[in-house]
Each structure stands twice: as structure tokens, then as C-alpha cells.
Structure 1
Amino acid sequence: MKRTNTAKWIESAGRWQINVQKDGVRKTFTSAKPGRTGQREANKKADEWLDIGVKTERIKVSDAWEQLLQQKKLVSDAEYKNMASFGRSHLLPAIGIKSIKAVTEQDFQKIIDYAFRHPQGNSKEPLSKKTLQNYASYCKQFTNFCRKSKWTTLELEELQIPAASRKKGKNVLTVEALNTLLKVDTTIMRGKFVHDEYINYYRFQVLTGMRPGEMRGLRWEDVDGNLCRLKQAINAHGQITQGKNENALRTVVLSRRAVDVLEAQKAVTGKQEYIFPMESMNTYYHRWQRYQRSNDMPELSLYELRHTFVSIAKELPTGELKQLVGHSEDMDTYGTYSHYIAGDDERTAQNLQEIFDRLVD
């Protein structure tokens, strides 16, 4: 089917817009890109929709969702599990029995809105903006999958995240807790204080800002003096990956304190392949929680040790900090991770050392 009109610029909305109709169904396509590029983009969306043929077979949302999950499982086990959880808790109870052809964009909007107002599990706190954005992404992936399978022509153009949603707050170690971490190496086991075999893990993480998975994948061959080359990560499922993003693979310089922690770790475990071997990420997390409780510290997550590092190292020039934590140039490192806490590689190491020295008695 060919369209007979073209996209027009809507000044009040700041976008190009075109309305087309097929088989009694009216659709609007838009583009916020300026100039003729935006007009062409909106027209292209309309043309693609007009040309798409939809299969006549009826298929339920639940069946299509299961097919998408099986495809996702082949690509990313972590995302597969996250999407499966979203499906069980939110998508399938709402629209699982409906035919895909009968599903509308408003159905998906209701899922997002309801998830925000009715968090699952024991928590009564509203879901964070990041979680809702992930949910919206899963919905869009689903409709894209169905559209490519020619079960629908639906595109989620205007799916909105509730305006009342907020970014999840992040916590960091206080100066007092940091001093405890760097000086106390005991935890309570079976009612007695004993040496914590994971103490160097916690200390190295807060002294370098590495992600838990990056630290888990670190090998002795990756360390040369005070230079540490991050070549891989090991995720919560025990899978070796290339890290969270393209900036995750990097070389970082270590402060003297971090080098000392590596030497202490080598004395305990010997020079085996992995510097910080662990049974599982859950084991590491539970040991960290026990250490905090044993030493009367406010309980933080492992990832918040990374937040602590960024907060401490925020005095470093932006470029040096981004290199250390593996952020892209356009990542708002300070805005995302930095919180309150009262050159070249060698200068970076020295600057970092001086910052920690001021905080630790």
C-alpha cells in the first residue's frame, strides 16, 4: 500500500508527524530530528508499516513471550532471567491470555504504571526509574520481536516512564567505616571473632573502584607492578564476559595501598591463576554483609564500594577518574556515582594515595 501524504512539522510538539491508515487502523508516526532528515525518517516509518503484512494466525501473548525468552536465552543468560522475572510478575498476569493482535500500546503503558504503583516482593518502596526503564525496554523488545514475526504492526512509540519515579539513591562508606575496613580484618563466625579470608577482596574493591565481576575475573598475569590490565569479567552466573561496556576493558594504575593489598593476598593464597577466587558472587556478598554486621558498620552492597571509591577519588581530574572506573567520555561519572565524603599514571597513583592517606588515620 502506498501513502498519498507526507510528514508535516508540528511546531508546538517540536517534531515531524504523519498520519496513515490501513485496513481501518489509523497510525501516527513521528520524528524529532530537525530538517528534512526528520521528515524522511517519519515517512519511512509510515511506509514500513503500510508495507508490512500481518499473518492471519492467532497467537497469544504468553506463547510469543516464551519464544522471545528462548531466543534471548541463547544470547544473554542474565537478561533472559531478568526478562523472565518481569514476564512472570507483570506482563503475563496483565495480558498473557490476550491475542497479540488485540494488544495496544495502552496495555503496555498500564503494565509500566501498575509496576510503579505496586512493587513486588517485601519492598514497599516504588520501583526506581532505572528499573522502569528496563521494563519499558523489555516491552519494546517484545513488540519488535512480534513485528518481525509478522504477528502485529504495533510499535511502542510513546511509552512513558511515570514522572514520579526517581533514581535509586546510592550510599557510600563513611570515613569511620572506611577506617574500620582498612584496619580491622576480623569477622564473627560461630560466635567468635576470626580472620576474614575475604578482607583483601573488600579492601581492593574500595581502593580501586572495580566492579565486583571485574575483580572476580582478575588474574595475576594481568598485574605488572602498579599497573592492572582488566581483560575480562566473571558475572554472577560464573560466565566470563568482556565487561559491562566497551570501556570496561582498560588498564588502571594502582595506589600503593592497593598494591600492598595485592601483596597481602598473594601471601595468603599463593600465585594461583585468579587473584580473588570465590565460590560464587553470592558467597562474596554474604561474607561482606557478615563483616559489616560483625564490625557495626552500616550495611552497603558490594557495588556501593565502587560508589565509595568514586566519591573519595572525585578530586582527581575527570579524565583520570573515568579511566580508572571504566566510564565513557559522555558518562556523567560525578553525577551518577559521586556523593558526599568529607597527569600521567604515576601522578594519578600518587594523587589517589594522598587522598586515601588524608581519610585513613
Structure 2
Amino acid sequence: MGLKKVETRWEENRKRWRVNGQRDGERRTFYSSTPGLRGKKEAERKADSWKRGVLHEKLDPPVAELWDCFLRYLEEEKRVGTSTVDQARKFGRNYILPIRGGFRISRLNEGHLQRVLNLSAQKGCLRQDKHRPSKRPLSLKTLRGLRNIEQQFVKWCRINGYTDLVLEGLEVRTSAQKVEKEILQPDELQTLFRVDTRLVRGKRVFDEQIYSYRFAVVTGLRPGELMGLRMGDIQGDKLHVQQAINRYGETTSGKNQNARRTFGLNSFARRIVEQQLELLRASGMPTALDSPLFPAINQQSRYHQWKSYARSNGITAISCYEMRHTFISLAQNLPEGDLRRLCGQSASMDTRGAYAHKLCDDDTRIAGEVDQILGRYLDER
């Protein structure tokens, strides 16, 4: 057995000792929150016990300690996206650790984790020290995400020898609420396509993001896809969605395997692109093929500007993602396969999507049908 000597150090920001152990090429981190020499020796004892092959049940660390190791695994070894790690960190901080963080891993059972789900469904955030905890019950989608993180954590603990626990029946209550999305109503759509100004310190000024709002509504692009659009992605009357930029500024290939897609632009979208190009040229902005089509600092800055526009014009300040829901609501009567192709949606089993092939004139046909639908609501008289 190859043992490697490691250095123990005090993490001032987290008030704990940390020691990294390595055995036969495998690495593991051990902690002690006891200050002084006693805590240092405690952390080193844990590492030494592991390196000498002592069973993990004898170490029996608390859940909170293992949770930190689990997050490190997600960040450094599994290489998942930043948003996934951030979500796991929030789930631990707000729901799991407040009521189960002090448990020794040997005591943790499925009933304890089910109680986390049940309490979260009833009360929302479980942190007592949170400045402004949410009092609303969690949505069905959030609860399913929490259950998934619990399952991943227990699997990681089991693989690494900390527990023999196997989760067999964690349940999300079917009565958990589905959060209904808001969309822009017809009169609000008319305002969006007729008014291009917002109020700044009591004065009307042109909103340089106006065409990005309109483009999102008539194409159903996700906020990250809109951020990732480049000039070269528009080729004639076709749009090639090739990447997305998430709220952390990271460039990704999109939300799912169908996110990278090509579809025909309807006449409203083509007109918006032309107007945006005129605006960029007049502003002296770059228009090279790799330049952003709708420049913005990030998703958050665009959203804050959109809220300002909405307040200034009496429009519901829906989220940028709900602009996508607005388009899907308008185009919901399109054939399912056409709508899925436009929006880059995935399905657990889509026989037509898997086995039907796109005809050469499909893009033109779908764009024409979208034109007819949008024309009912976006009368530009």
C-alpha cells in the first residue's frame, strides 16, 4: 500500500482543519472543526486511519463534513456545470444540512432524507439563520431536484465506503404545487412591438435591448441561447443555434442534445435582425461573424433592463425564460414535432423525433405557419 505524507492546514474562513490524504492513487480530504492542536491531531488521525485501511464506520464523520467532500467531487472530479454545483450547494445549505448536517453518516437513513423532502415541501427554506427565508412551499420541480441531489450524495458516500445505505423509495408528494409561468398577453405584446423606449430618471430614452426582447418572444430562444448568438449564426433566412452562455458567463453546448438546432426565421424575426444590425452599425458596434448579435454584459443585466422597460410601459415583468413560454403558448397549436424542433426540446421517448427525418422544405413551411400565428397578435398598423 503506497502512503503519501500530507500537510495539515487551518482554513480560517471556515474555521476548520483540513488534511488531504492519498492512498494508492486515491485522494480524500478529512476535516476537524476543533480549534488548536487538538483539532489538528484529530484531522490527522482520521487521515492516518483511512490510509491504514480502518473501516469508515469507525471514522463515522458527520453529514455536513461529507457534504463538503461531495461538493468538491462535483467541482473537481465529476466536472459538472457550475450551475449544477451551485444548485447542490444551495440545496445542502437551505434544506439538507439544517436538519441533517449534524448526523453521523452511520445514523443517516432513508426516512431522514424523506423528512427533508416533506419539511421542504411544507415550509420552504429550513435555515434558521437565513435573513429572508422563503415561506412558500417548494415547487414540484425544485423538490425533484432536491431528491436527485440527495440520491447523488448517498451514492457518493456508498461508493467511497462511508455507508451501505441504498435509497429505494424517496418520494416527492404529488400534491406539491406546480408553479405556473406567466406570459405576455396580447395587449402587452402589442405594446412591446410598438414602444421602444423606457423611463430613465423620468425621461423617455431608447432601450438598446428592445430587439433582443422582441426576438426572444418570436423565436422562443432560451436566455442563454440569446446571449450566445453570433452574427455568423444567421445565414440567409436560417438560424443556427450552436451554443449558449449561462448566467455564470460560461459557454456551453446548450441545455440538452436537441439544443443545437437549425430552423427557418419567420418574417418577424428576420425584420428584427435587420433592425438590430442597423442599430449596431449606427452605434459603431462590431458586426464581424463572431460578434454577438444582441450584445449584453450578462443575462442578469439584460433582465434588469427588461424589468425597467416593463415597468415603464405597464407590461408584466415576466422573466426572460417566460418570454420563451410566451412564444410556446402562442405556437402551441403547431404539430408537436415542429414545436419541439423550433424550441430544442427533449422528450424521454419521441418516436417521431427519433425516426422521422426533416424534409428539405420543412423550415420554410414551419416559419410560414409561425408567421400566421404571430400575425394574429402583432398587428403592426
Q: TM-score if structure 2 supplies the norm length?
A: 0.76
Q: Does the CA-based 8 Å contact 2:64-2:101 persist in structure 1?
A: yes
SS of the residue 1:67 aligns to:
helix
Instruction: Find 2:84's aligned residue among 79, 98, 102.
Output: 79
Aligned counterpart, 1:198: 209
Q: How does 1:227-246 map to 2 (within 5 A)?
A: 227-246=238-257
Amino acid at match of 1:307: H
Distance apart, 1:180 and its partner CA = 0.8
Aligned counterpart, 2:137: 126
Aligned counterpart, 1:70: 72
SS of the residue 2:58 aligns to:
coil
- Are positions 1:112 and 2:130 aligned together? no
Aligned counterpart, 2:153: 142
Aligned counterpart, 2:358: none
Aligned counterpart, 2:182: 171
Aligned counterpart, 1:277: 295
Deviations 1:171-206 (A, max 9, x none): 211000011111110111111111001001100000
Q: Does the CA-based 8 Å contact 1:212-1:303 persist in structure 2?
A: yes
Distance apart, 1:253 and its partner CA = 1.1
Q: Does the CA-based 8 Å contact 2:225-2:243 persist in structure 1?
A: yes
Measured in 2, the distance between the counterparts of 1:181 and 1:287 equals 14
1:330–1:104 distance in 2 versus 1, CA, 3 Å: closer
- Are positions 1:89 and 2:94 aligned together? yes
Structure 2: any 5+ residue segments left out of the alignment?
1-54, 126-131, 282-286, 351-360
Measured in 2, the distance between the counterparts of 1:170 and 1:72 equals 31
Measured in 2, the distance between the counterparts of 1:322 and 1:137 equals 26
Q: Does the CA-based 8 Å contact 1:222-1:230 persist in structure 2?
A: yes
Aligned counterpart, 1:102: 107
Aligned counterpart, 2:47: none
Measured in 1, the distance between the counterparts of 2:73 and 2:254 equals 22
Q: How does 1:21-32 map to 2 (within 5 A)?
A: none
Measured in 1, the distance between the counterparts of 2:86 and 2:116 equals 19
Amino acid at match of 2:103: K
SS of the residue 2:121 aligns to:
helix
Measured in 2, the distance between the counterparts of 1:73 and 1:193 equals 46
Instruction: Find 1:58's aligned residue among 57, 60, 74.
Output: 60
Aligned counterpart, 1:44: none
Q: TM-score if structure 1 supplies the norm length?
A: 0.80
Measured in 2, the distance between the counterparts of 1:301 and 1:328 equals 22
Measured in 1, the distance between the counterparts of 2:225 and 2:238 equals 15
Structure 1: any 5+ residue segments left out of the alignment?
1-52, 333-342
Q: Does the CA-based 8 Å contact 2:227-2:298 persist in structure 1?
A: no
- Are positions 1:305 and 2:304 aligned together? no
Measured in 1, the distance between the counterparts of 2:347 and 2:71 equals 33
Residue identity (%): 37
Measured in 2, the distance between the counterparts of 1:331 and 1:172 equals 28
1:190–1:263 distance in 2 versus 1, CA, 3 Å: same
Distance apart, 1:207 and its partner CA = 0.6
Distance apart, 1:329 and its partner CA = 4.7
- 73-82 or 183-192, larger mean C-alpha shift: 73-82
Measured in 2, the distance between the counterparts of 1:326 and 1:252 equals 10
Q: How does 1:176-187 map to 2 (within 5 A)?
A: 176-187=187-198
Segments of 4+ in structure 1 off by > 6 A? none
Measured in 1, the distance between the counterparts of 2:363 and 2:60 equals 62
Q: Does the CA-based 8 Å contact 1:242-1:249 persist in structure 2?
A: yes
Aligned counterpart, 2:24: none
Amino acid at match of 1:292: A
Aligned counterpart, 2:311: 293
Measured in 1, the distance between the counterparts of 2:168 and 2:348 equals 26
- 136-145 or 121-130, larger mean C-alpha shift: 121-130
SS of the residue 2:239 aligns to:
strand
Aligned counterpart, 1:160: 171
Q: Does the CA-based 8 Å contact 1:54-1:153 persist in structure 2?
A: no
Deviations 1:259-304 (A, max 9, x none): 1111111111241411112111110111111111100012211111
Q: Does the CA-based 8 Å contact 2:57-2:106 persist in structure 1?
A: no
Instruction: Find 1:267's aligned residue among 255, 267, 278.
Output: 278
